[in-house]
Each structure stands twice: as structure tokens, then as C-alpha cells.
Amino acid sequence: MAKVLIIGAGGVGRVVVHKCAQLPGVFSEILLASRTKSKCDAIAAELSRPIQTAAVDADNVPELAALIRGFQPEVVVNVALPYQDLAIMDACLETGVHYIDTANYEPRDVAKFEYHWQWAYQDKFKAAGLTALLGCGFDPGVTNVFTAHALKHHFTSIDTLDIIDCNAGDHGKAFATNFNPEINLREVTANGRYWENGSWVETKPLEIKRSFDFPDGIGPKNIYCLYHEELESLTKHIPMRRARFWMTFGDQYIKHMEVLVNVGMTRIDPVMHKGVPIIPIEFLKTLLPEPGTLGPDTKGKTCIGNWIEGTAKDGAFKRLYIYNIKDHEDCYRETNSQGVSYTTGVPAMIAAKQLLTNPAEYRQPGVWNLEQLNPDPFMTDLNTHGLPWIESFPAHPLPGE
């Protein structure tokens, strides 16, 4: 039994709290903190067991450290903004506490997300005897675990990896993002890139488009090739010829996004408005629906998985599609959150559970991505805690190949 501090009270934070609260034998005490304490209190009121709440500025290391010292958790689960990762890591180092997040650091003033800022903490965490588990959502996170599982149980070597993320949910809004609008739009409007033959190939935003027929009645959807952070860690830790990331976007989403880009509303640099500097994408965020409010109206399913081709254990060519399907309405009934928040929050809880209960494999000093650890306990917990996985062995290549 251990104390856990969860920082961030958005949709993902709500899921992490709900799932941790379901395991009192692992998480004996829970503190939920964010800049706005009322958001934490609203989530606490949804639970069947009491938790503590607090206000904290996640950019302020002394304030974070004071909160950590007062509560004395064994692990901090960071589901705040990616801009705040380094400050929270610094506070964990200062107070001697393990660290988990779901998305890698990115600076506020550059639409660029890379692991090198956090990998640079390797020696600090190792010297302190502390563990930092990075990217413990679904993608990154479960997709990393899926890849490690495939290599351990199916392949001697991986030739190609395609991570395919589909949100087939419908929330009825003209335009809304399924997670933080500022982070989502920065990600989608940036240049894409994929790994091939030892180097990165850069593409224009959403330049490469395919159609993929998703299982379980979801059917064909347009998928677009873009850059996603797990490609950086996976290609660093697992040799492969090519690695790509694909995500579905509907025509309506694309249309709205193109207009917003064209009129400058996705800019991340300050502009003057009536003598006051504002950042357009931050202003746009205030106009769009809060992702955490989409749960009651979202219907449909998510389908996220890995399409992997390579050499099987017997030396033959093998093709594997491993994926999870989750129903938005089921997620809302359990945690008052839609499926995108659920599929990110559940793995964060599992990472914390493994760190606390399986120290031999998940509590090694240093900074780690999940593909570097034994995938089997994580895969078991996915089935147990709401994200069951399915394996299939397609006879046909990925569409467009």
C-alpha cells in the first residue's frame, strides 16, 4: 500500500483517479492536485472513497516540492501539460519520489516534442535511486508495450511498424478536440515524419493519406501519417527498417483545422490585440469545448493498435495486428470520461501499479520508456483493468503497400 500524488485534473486525470481509487490495496491514499482546486474537488465528489485535493502551480518547483513533502507520496503521476514535465521531474528529484507521465516534454514556444530533454535526466534519476517512467498513456505507452510484446513472443526481428490510432467517436459538436486543444492542434499542424532506413523522412502536415478498414464494425476510415513521440523511443531501443504513426481525422475536422491554420488561430507566437499580447492558439483553446465535458455526448469506439511485419521465431515472414477497442459510452459509465481520456488514463494507473507492486521489473533507477521493460505484467493488467487486447494475423499487407 502506498500514497500516490496525481497532478492534473483534466479528462485523463479524472480517469487515473477513478482507476487508482478502485485499488485501495495498492493506492492507500490519493492526492489530486491542479492549478484549480475546484476541478479536483468535483472529481473527488464522484468517488466512493475519500481522497485529498490541493491547488498547485505545476510550473513552480518549490511549490511542487512543498506539496510533495507535505503528502509524502511514493510516486507522482503527471497528467498535467507536457510543458510542465521538467518542473515536475525536478520536484521529484528534490523530494526523492518516483515519476510517471503520459506525454513527453515540449517547450511552450516551439511546436516540437522530443524525448532528449527528459532522457538527459537519466544520470540524475539513477544517482538518486529513483525511477522515471515516460510516456505511460496509450500512444505513447501501450503501443510501446505492444511492440515489446511482439518482439518477445512473435518476432526475432521487426522490419516495419505502423501504429494506427482511430477515434471513431461522435460527440455531436461542429469542432472539438479529444484532448487538450492546444496540444492536439500543435501536434496535428506540425510537419509529419517517419523513420526509414536509419533516418527521418519529413512530410508536410497530413500529406500522406490512406484508408484503413477497422475491425469490430468500425469500418473504413481515412488515416493520415504524422509524427508521434513513441517513434523516437521505439526506433532508438528496437532496430527496425521503418516506423510510422497514423491517425484518423474526419473531413469536418480537417476542414475546420485548415481554416484555423489559414487565419492564424493555431499560431504559438504572441500577437498584439488591443495593446495586449495574446497567443492565438491559447485564445482558441478558451473558445473550444473542454475535452473533459465531451463524455456524456460521445458515442462510438476507439481502436488503437500496432501493425507489425518481420521475421518470426521460426524464421518465416510474419504479420501481426495487435489492438484494443474501447466503447466511449462504457468509459463514461465507469469513469465519467470519454474513451480518449480512458485509454490514456488506465495505462498511467497500470504503470504506477507496476512500479509499486513489481519493483524488480518496474522500479529500476533511471529514466525508462516502456518498451525497455518486461511487457508481460503490463499486458496482463491491460486485460484486467479495462483495455483488453486482441491479436490477429492478417493475410494481406497494410493498405497502400
Q: What is the pLDDT of residue 295?
A: 66
Distance (Å, whole) CA 167 – CA 163 = 13
Q: What is the pLDDT of residue 276?
A: 82
Distance (Å, whole) CA 37 – CA 40 = 5
pTM greater than 0.85 (yes/no): yes
Q: What is the pLDDT of residue 179?
A: 60
Name the packing angle between helices 375-384 and 142-153 (round to 10°): 120
Distance (Å, whole) CA 84 – CA 11 = 17
Distance (Å, whole) CA 274 – CA 241 = 52
Number of H helices, E strands in the chain: 15, 18
For 146-200, the DSSP string reads HHHHHHHHTEEEEEEEEEEEEE--B---SS--SS-HHHHHHHHHSPEEEEETTEE
Q: What is the pLDDT of residue 161?
A: 98
The SS3 call for residue 88 is: helix
The phi-psi region of residue 116 (left if phi > 0; otherwise alpha if psi is between -120 and 50; otherwise beta) is alpha
- Please list the rounded mean pLDDT of every run of 10 residues in the chain (401 residues): 96 97 98 97 97 98 98 98 95 98 85 87 98 98 98 98 91 65 71 95 92 96 94 98 93 74 80 85 79 75 98 98 97 95 97 98 98 98 98 94 85
Q: What is the pLDDT of residue 177?
A: 66
Q: Which residue has the cell 478558451?
A: 286
User: In angstroms, what CA-CA distances link 36 with 41, 42, 70, 144?
Assistant: 9, 11, 19, 32
Residue range 142-335 forms a domain whose CATH class is alpha beta
Q: What is the pLDDT of residue 386?
A: 98
Query: In the numeric block, which cell numbers belong to residue 386?
Result: 479495462
Q: What is the pLDDT of residue 182?
A: 67
The phi-psi region of residue 218 (left if phi > 0; otherwise alpha if psi is between -120 and 50; otherwise beta) is alpha
Q: What is the pLDDT of residue 264?
A: 82
